[in-house]
Amino acid sequence: MIGAGNVLFVIAGILALAGALITVSSRNPIRGAMGLLATIFGIALLFLKLNAQFLAAIQVIVYAGAVVVLFVFVIMLLGPDALGEVGSFPKGKSKVSRGIGGGLLAILAGVALVLLAGRGGAHVRFGDVQPDHGSVEAVGGLLFSRGLVAFELATALLIVAVIGAIAVARGKQTKSHLTPAQRGDGEFFHGTVVARDDRGRPPSKGDG
C-alpha cells in the first residue's frame, strides 16, 4: 500500500536531491541559490513528515527567508562578476586534481553509506510518538530549561558574527586626503589596489 505519506517522502526527497545537484553544478550562482532553495523546501517537507513542525517552520523562515535572500543580495551586488569563472579559467592541473579528489571523496562516501546501511533488510521502523513530538512547546520547553546554557552561549556567537561581519565588510572606510601610499597599509582606493606589501615594498605580484 502506498499512501500519501510515501508520496510526500518521494516528492520531498527528489526535490531536495535535484536542488542539491543544481546548486553544485550550475554555472550561474543565482541558479545555484534557487537550487538551494528547493533543497531547503524539500527538507522542510521531510521535517513535517518526521513530526518536526517547529523545525520545518524555522527551516523555511531562517534558511529561505534569511540565508538564501542574503546569497541573492550578494549575487545581485556583484552582478556578472558573480559568475566567477569568466576570464579566469581554472588552471588545468588543479582542475584535474580537484576532479580526482572529488571523485575519490564520492567513492569513499558511497562505501561509507553502504556500510552504514549494511544491515540487510533490518530496517528501523518509526514507532509512535507523543502528539507534542516536535511541537513548539516541546522544543521550546527544552531550549529554556536544560538547553539554557547552550542558548546563552549562542548569544556570544551572534554578537561575534555581528561585530565581525560589520568590521570586515563595512565599505571604504573614509575618503582620505592622504594617498594610499601615505596611509601605508594598502587601502582599497578608487577601484584598484595601490598597495604596498607588509614590508613596505611595492607589490611584486598578485596583490592587485
Partner 1 sequence: MDLVIALSPLLAVGFGGLMLMLAEAFGKPSEEGISKTTGDVVDAGAGRGAELGLGASVVLIAGAVMAVGVWIVGPETLEGVADVAPYLLIDRFSLFFTFVLCLGGAFTALLGGGYLPEHRIDRSEFFPLVLFSTFGAIALAMSGDLLSLFVGLETMSLGVYCLIGLRRGSARATEAALKYFLLGSFAAALTLFGAALLYGATGHTDLVGIGEAVATIGQPDSTVAAMPVLLALALTLAGLGFKVAAVPFHQWTPDAYEGAPTPATAFMAAVVKTAAFAILLRVLLVGFGEERLMSWGTGWPPVIATLAVLSMTVGNVVAGRQESVKRMLAYSSIAHAGVALVGVAATIRSTEDATASVLFYLLVYTVSTAGAFGALILCGSRGAEAVSYEDLAGIAKRHPAAALAFSLFLLSLAGFPPTAGFFGKLYVFQSAIDSELYVLVIIGLVNSLIGAYYYVRVMVYMYMREPVPGAPVAKPMSSGMVTSAIVLAALLVLGLGILPGVSLDMAIAAAARGG
Partner 2 sequence: MGALLGNVLEHYVMLAGVLFTIGAVGFLVRRNVLVQLMSIELMLNAVNLAFVAYNRVHGDDMNGHMFVFFIIAVAAAEVAVGLAIVLSFYRLTGSVHSDDADALKG
Cell output for 63: 534558511
| C-alpha dist (Å) from residue 133 to 51, 59, 113, 145 | 6, 17, 28, 17
Closest CA to 193 of 177, 176, 208: 208
By a kind-dependent CB cut-off of 5 to 8 A, residue 175 interacts, out of partner 2, partner 1, none, with partner 1
Please, which residue, 88 or 173, has the CB nearer to partner 1?
173
Cα 4 to chain centroid, rounded: 31
By a kind-dependent CB cut-off of 5 to 8 A, residue 123 interacts, out of partner 1, partner 2, none, with partner 2
Which residues make up the interface to partner 1 (CB under 8 A)? 112, 115-116, 118-119, 147, 149-150, 153-154, 156-157, 159-161, 163-168, 170, 173-178, 180, 183-188, 193, 195-201, 206-208
Positions in 158-187 near partner 2 (CB under 8 A): 158, 160-162, 164-166, 168-169, 171
- Total residues contacting partner 2 by CB under 8 A comes to 99
Contact map string, positions 19 to 38, toward partner 2, x by CB under 8 A: -xx-xxxx--x--xx-xx--
* Contact assessment for residue 180 and residue 186, using Cβ atoms and an 8 Å cutoff: yes
Cell output for 6: 510515501
By a kind-dependent CB cut-off of 5 to 8 A, residue 36 interacts, out of partner 1, partner 2, none, with partner 2
Residues 6+ apart with CB under 8 A from 31: 22
